Structure formats: structure tokens, C-alpha cells
Amino acid sequence: MTAAAQDGFFKRRHFTSEVILWALRWYLAFPISYRDLAAMLSDRGVTVDHTTLFRWVQAYAAELEQRVRPHLRPCTGSWRVDETYIKVKGAWTYLYRAVDSLGQTIDFLLSAQRDAAAAKRFFRKALAQPHTVNPRTITVDKNPAYPRAVADMKQAGELWRFSKLRQRKYLNNIVEQDHRRIKRLVRPGLGFGGLGSADQTLAGYEAMAMIRKGQVHNVDGRDMQAQAAFIAGLFDVAA
């Protein structure tokens, strides 16, 4: 199912916006490779190369995340913060992630370093999101970078001075379990070729996760048709 180039955000693509968003949703929601997705689309009558699918994800995954953010339900003030490892260009990097006490995704940050500077970048990014609030508690593991980052940010007035830091690993089971979903999605791709492409793809994974967790107002996380319609609406495409 090919089509002429689209207007607007999908201009000059050789496939319809509906097909592109269809492929994007599938890749970001399920643990499949680009080649597997190409085979699945072929079964539906859409012949597309796996490298084209990669380009679509790079072009639209992070844009999806940015468009989803304003529609998210507010997170609670109880943050659970942890890092997991992601292989990029053959080397391990650090994916900072946070969820609230209900398991709702707060934010993520991919970093080549695991230090106080990276922790501060992550906290600043999370605090700038429209669905977050200054945390009452921040639960972390024993990484010594977190107390330094929190102290510096409180002193600079970037973090609420009454925010309580808790270094209790057992309380972070909720975010550690949430890491497993990211690991499942990353595994079929056998790692990323660069920090830029990794960051773009991870943004899409997190966006679809927030939708499927039911974090979007008036969109049931179990209703695939409602999710498809919501994403189509974000890009002004008929569902």
C-alpha cells in the first residue's frame, strides 16, 4: 500500500501517514526487530524495507513522546529513581528512569556517565515536564551521586528544600520491574548504533509505555483502538 507524498508532518514520504503510524505503534509497543516488522507489514500487503522502518522511528518516535506529554495525568510526589544499562555502539551506557508510587512513568535520560552531573540533568529534565510536581520523596539506591545532586539542587533552589531523599533499594522494586519492559523492547535490536538514535528510539518506547499504562487522559491503556485513534489525532491523521 504505497501512496503519494503526504502533506504536513509526513510530507515527501512514499507511504501514507496511516501506514507510518501503524508501523511506529507496533515497533514501539512490542519486542520485535525491524526485519520482523517488515515481514508483518508484508503480510498486510505493505512492502517496506527494514531500513525505511528505522528511518521512520528516528523521524517520529521522539516527536510522538513530545506530543503525548501534555495529555498525561499528573504524577504523584513520590518518585522512584534508578538507572539501568543500555548498550550503545558496543559500550554500556546508563538509562536514568523514574516512576511514581503508582508506577506511572515520570521521565528518562540516557547518559554516557553515571555521576552527580548526570543525576542533576535527569532531575532537571523530569521537573520540567508538564505532568510532574516537585517530589515529596525521592527513593534511590546506594549510588553516592544522588545525595550530592539533590543537595546541590536544593542549594540552587532547583528542588524543593523539603524533598526527602531515601536510599532504600527494596522500595525501588517498582522502577526496577519497569526496567524489564525496556529491556524486552531493546533486546531484538541487539543494541544501538549511537547515542542519538538510542535516545530517539527510547523516547518512543517510553511514550507508548505511558499510553499503555493508562497515563493519558480518557484513553484506556488496554484499548488498542483508542490508543491508535489518540496517536492519529496527535498527528492530525484520520484513524
> Is residue 2 in a domain?
no
41 in the same domain as 93: no
Euclidean distance between CA atoms 65 and 142, whole angstroms? 30
Number of domains comprising the chain: 2
- Convert the pLDDT of each residue in 77-127 to its tens digit: 999 999 999 999 999 999 999 999 999 999 999 999 999 999 999 999 999
Q: How far is CA 135 from the centre of its chain?
A: 20
204 in the same domain as 133: no
83 in the same domain as 66: no
Give the pLDDT of residue 8. 63
143 in the same domain as 83: yes
67 in the same domain as 18: yes
136 in the same domain as 113: yes
Owning domain of residue 134:
78-182
User: Phi-psi category of 176—alpha, beta or left, where left has phi over 0 and alpha has psi -120 to 50?
Assistant: alpha
Q: Is the pLDDT of residue 2 over 60?
A: no
126-162 burial string, b = 16+ CB within 10 Å, else e? bbeeebbeebeebbbbebebbeebbebbeeeeebeee
Give the pLDDT of residue 172. 75
Mean pLDDT computed over every residue of the chain: 92
> Is residue 211 in a domain?
yes
> Is residue 167 in a domain?
yes
Task: Compute φ and ψ for 14, nearest 5 degrees.
Answer: -95, 5
162 in the same domain as 129: yes
- Decide: 174 and 101 in contact? Cβ < 8 Å: yes
- Convert the pLDDT of each residue in 127-160 to its tens digit: 999 999 999 999 999 899 999 999 999 999 999 9
